[in-house]
């Protein structure tokens, strides 16, 4: 791909760990092209979790906005990102800006671009639950971002249909697959990392951190894990614990002293990919895990009442179980004791792409920005 006479100036904005994982292959594809140069902006939402991802993929942070302050509200962090992105846009004047997903970084960046009439590319566009409070605030973030987006890169046909129902021009939507599969394939092809597991023991992998699950819902999840661990001493239950104080308080209260529950710090991405690949199955409220695990043949019991990733549910690769203690136990027991049920989920396949989403995104941008 070429673009003459001068390379186009692109900005890629990253706030959280999932954004870093999903945008890394896009940044790499841009850097491997000849038609554009890329500035990577870190807002700082998940600094400690993002920086290892950047190092793993050998990506350089060009601008660091340092937006996080103790105990700030959603409104405050969004306003700080908006203000700092606006200053950067006014100084750098990019030809286009890219963001991913549904975070405060994405909402504020798309708004800053809209105010300055700079085209914004939304990676992973069109995800919807239909409930503006679930997940909160992510559903509202992505709905609002859609109205300010120039290029809608939908990961699936279902996401495209969501955008069409909202009146988005079909010519502005591209179904690319999900870039998380690009990253996953890059990582699992590499040598295995040093692992936080006990040799020879099967394990179930757990992640839980979403804002809407803090409080009673997370207490219920932890109670279910404690019961499952007691019922199955032959298994380990590996739980990388998110640094959010609300998460740690609930996890420590219920799971701290159970011998076969291994509470570990958040993993580097290669380690987490290994854990997914080698687990029996996964209990998670993560959006990314719902996309990644089916590609590895691992069932996911989704610890949420609603999901914006219904494709995996429809395929049978994931199952929505919510946060009721008994429902979690029942679903986990089914996978542990019913081989046919397990096999159906494990072989359902992935609806999220072939690992070439980033290249499709970059080619589309090149065709659009270089056509003149």
Within 10 angstroms of residue 354's Cβ, the number of other Cβ atoms is 12
Count of alpha carbons within 13 Å of 216, Cβ hemisphere only? 1
Cite the beta strand spans of 247-320 per DSSP E. 261-264, 282-284, 300-302, 318-320
Q: pLDDT value at position 296?
A: 96
Looking only at the bridges linking them, the beta strands covering 151-154 and 318-320 are unpaired
Q: pLDDT value at position 194?
A: 66
How is residue 204 written in tokens?
A: 């179930």
Q: Which of 282, 287, 300, 269 is nearest to 188 (CA)?
A: 269
Beta carbons of 144 and 192 less than 8 angstroms apart: no
For the annotated catalytic residues, the residue numbers are 102, 124, 138, 209, 211, 242
Q: pLDDT value at position 65?
A: 94
Q: pLDDT value at position 196?
A: 65
Q: pLDDT value at position 350?
A: 93
Which CATH architecture is the domain 8-178+354-369 placed in? 3-Layer(aba) Sandwich (3.40)
Q: pLDDT value at position 240?
A: 94
Mean pLDDT by 10 residues, the chain (372 residues): 75 95 97 95 85 92 91 93 97 97 97 98 97 92 98 97 98 98 92 68 92 87 96 96 89 94 91 93 94 97 93 96 97 97 97 96 97 71
pLDDT tens for 162-213 read: 999 999 999 999 999 999 999 999 998 886 666 666 767 899 999 998 888 8
Look up the pTM and report it. 0.89
Q: pLDDT value at position 70?
A: 85
Superfamily of domain covering 203-346: Glycogen Phosphorylase B; (3.40.50.2000)
Q: Which of 224, 179, 204 is nearest to 328 (CA)?
A: 224
Those residues with Cβ within 8 angstroms of residue 358's Cβ, 6 or more apart along the chain or in another chain: 25, 26, 28, 29, 179, 182
Distance CA 329, CA 314 (A): 22
- Which residue intervals of the chain bear CATH 3.40.50.2000? 8-178+354-369, 203-346
Distance CA 319, CA 216 (A): 21
Within 10 angstroms of residue 211's Cβ, the number of other Cβ atoms is 14
Q: pLDDT value at position 191?
A: 64
Q: Helices (H) and strands (E) in the chain — how many of each? A: 15, 13
- CA torsion 273-49-309-274 (nearest 10°) is 10
Rounded to a whole number of angstroms, the distance between the first and last alpha carbons of the chain is 14
- The residue with tokens 């046919």 is 340
């Amino acid at each position: 791909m070429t673009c003459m006479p001068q390379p186009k100036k692109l900005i890629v904005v990253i706030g959280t760990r999932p954004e870093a994982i999903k945008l890394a292959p896009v940044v790499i594809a841009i850097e491997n092209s000849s038609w554009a140069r890329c500035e990577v902006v870190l807002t700082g939402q998940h600094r400690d979790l993002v920086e290892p991802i950047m190092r793993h993929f050998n990506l350089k942070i060009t601008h660091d906005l340092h937006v996080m302050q103790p105990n700030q509200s959603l409104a405050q962090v969004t306003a700080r990102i908006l203000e700092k992105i606006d200053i950067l846009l006014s100084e750098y004047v990019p030809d286009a800006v890219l963001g991913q997903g549904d975070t405060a970084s994405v909402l504020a960046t798309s708004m800053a671009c809209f105010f300055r009439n700079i085209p914004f590319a939304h990676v992973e566009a069109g995800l919807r639950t239909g409930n503006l409070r679930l997940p909160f605030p992510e559903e509202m973030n992505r709905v609002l971002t859609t109205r300010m987006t120039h290029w809608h890169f939908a990961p699936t046909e279902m996401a495209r249909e969501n955008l069409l129902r909202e009146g988005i021009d079909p010519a502005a939507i591209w179904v690319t697959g999900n870039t998380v599969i690009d990253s996953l394939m890059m990582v699992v092809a590499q040598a295995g990392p040093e692992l936080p597991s006990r040799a020879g023991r099967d394990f179930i992998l757990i992640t839980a951190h979403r804002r809407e699950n803090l409080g009673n819902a997370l207490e219920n999840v932890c109670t279910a894990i404690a019961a499952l661990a007691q019922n199955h001493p032959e298994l380990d239950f590996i739980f990388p614990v998110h640094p959010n104080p609300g998460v740690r308080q609930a996890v420590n209260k219920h799971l701290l002293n159970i011998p076969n529950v291994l509470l570990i710090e958040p993993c580097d991405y290669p380690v987490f990919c290994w854990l997914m690949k080698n687990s029996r199955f996964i209990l998670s409220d993560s959006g990314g895990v719902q996309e990644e695990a089916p590609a590895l043949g691992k069932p996911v019991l989704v610890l949420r009442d609603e999901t914006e990733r219904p494709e995996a549910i429809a395929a049978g690769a994931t199952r929505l179980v919510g946060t009721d203690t008994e429902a979690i136990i029942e679903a986990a027991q089914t996978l542990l004791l019913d081989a046919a049920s397990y096999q159906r989920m494990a072989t359902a396949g992935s609806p999220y792409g072939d690992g070439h989403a980033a290249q499709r995104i970059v080619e589309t941008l090149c065709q659009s920005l270089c056509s003149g």
